[in-house]
Amino acid sequence: MEHGALSPSHLKDACFLVGHAFGVRNLGRLLYEITLVESNAGQVKSQFGGVCSISHYQFGLMQHHHGFYEYRKEILKAFGMDLKLIKFAQLASNPTLSLIVSGAWILSNVDSVPKKRIARAKLFAKWWRSIDYGDYMKITKE
């Protein structure tokens, strides 16, 4: 396992726990799909920081986005972690932090997370990184 992830099933549980903490339907599902695409659910080292493969550049964009800290109180309550205190270097070895930051970024850019996987593939391609929808569907099929 890479990035501090114990197993794909533990990582999946963490994704849904983070999604629940944000209080947004389907966020946990999208977070798990992100980890499948970026790090094969934590089984391989991703290109950048953590199970969600957040680049240093992307992390900088996140921190300066007007909506990134909107769920700060919910995260502090659920995990005892202040979103403003998370450092880029922590993402590589702490899957939960990578998931929290990813969730905050997604929700700072969309009003809701779609129920249908193809719609999540489109969201991923727009707000995460460009990927062929068919490839996303293959990788995230369970």
Please write the tens of the pLDDT for every residue from 96-128.
999 999 999 999 999 899 999 999 999 999 888
Crossing angle of helices 27-39 and 8-22, in 10° steps, is 140
- pLDDT value, residue 137: 94
Question: What's at 100, amino acid-wise?
Answer: I
For 1-13, give the DSSP string.
--TT---HHHHHH
pTM: 0.92
d(CA 110, CA 112): 6
**Confidence band (pLDDT; 50, 70, 90) for 140?**
very high
Query: What mean pLDDT do residues 92-99 have?
Result: 93
Please write the tens of the pLDDT for every residue from 36-56.
999 999 888 877 778 999 999
d(CA 109, CA 104): 9
d(CA 18, CA 139): 21
